[in-house]
Structure 1
């Protein structure tokens, strides 16, 4: 089965250097999802800018927020706390939040802490989008 999804990149200012070591890129997909790709490291000073960036996305109330972890080089308790806070806010706003493509060390942190049971985790952004597309076809 082939799924075609058109991706509309948002304005270039959607590439944000949250801190010197963390960058976030936001992409809107057919009004069905917003993808926030994280590149770099999340450390103590990055927690608040990351939480604020994710909160801004949730204010638009997309049906789904996909946090693409592909480019995340380092994630520990501070990163995990920011993601858990975002999940709580997403749930309160009625937004489905998915973590996509966590690197092995991030996946390990999720497993050790048991939060892999709390988050919806997909192996790739493509898988998360396909799941969103399939769900919208069933309900629409």
Structure 2
């Protein structure tokens, strides 16, 4: 381990891409979702909901890591969306991320799709 490297240099910075679709929005976090970056995703998801988006697909294909803080952001967003009549779907999880959902049981409260296309096809158009 290189002790001279700042902690932040070893982590893959989280970026968020949001694109609107006919049925809602696709939010694609890329990098590591952890206690350092969870607010970035939280802000993007809250903005979608504030803009009236009720159906959100979170494309996990570029998500390299997710810790409990990131998981809590997703769980809280699901509750907020569902209380407003919306839905949160997860798509294309890498095995390392899927494992967190499996271990915690969180996968059972989300609708999880193998691919982004499958998730988008499952959303009804407004």
TM range (shorter): 0.7 to 0.9
What's the C-alpha RMSD, in Å, of the aligned pairs?
1.5
> What is the Cα deviation at residue 72 of structure 1?
0.4
Correspondence list, 1:32-111, <5 A: 32-111=23-102
- For each residue in 1:31-85, what CA deviation from the matched residue of structure 2 results, as whole angstroms up to 9, or x when unmatched? x120001100012121222211110011122241001110001111111111111
Contact 2:19–2:27 under 8 Å retained in 1:
yes
Matched residue pairs, number?
Answer: 115
Tell me, yes or no, if structure 1 residue 118 matches structure 2 residue 109: yes
State the TM-score, normalizing by the size of structure 1.
Answer: 0.76
The 1-side partners of 2:114 and 2:41 are apart by 22
Q: What TM-score do you get using the length of structure 2 for normalisation?
A: 0.84
Question: RCO greater where, 1 or 2, for CA within 8 Å and sep 6 or more?
Answer: 2
Tell me the CA shift for residue 131 of structure 1.
1.3
Q: Is the 8 A contact 1:69 1:101 kept in 2?
A: yes
Q: Measure how far apart 1:116 and its partner are.
A: 0.8
Residue equivalent to 1:4 = none
> Any conservation in 1 of the 2:33–2:70 contact (CA below 8 Å)?
yes
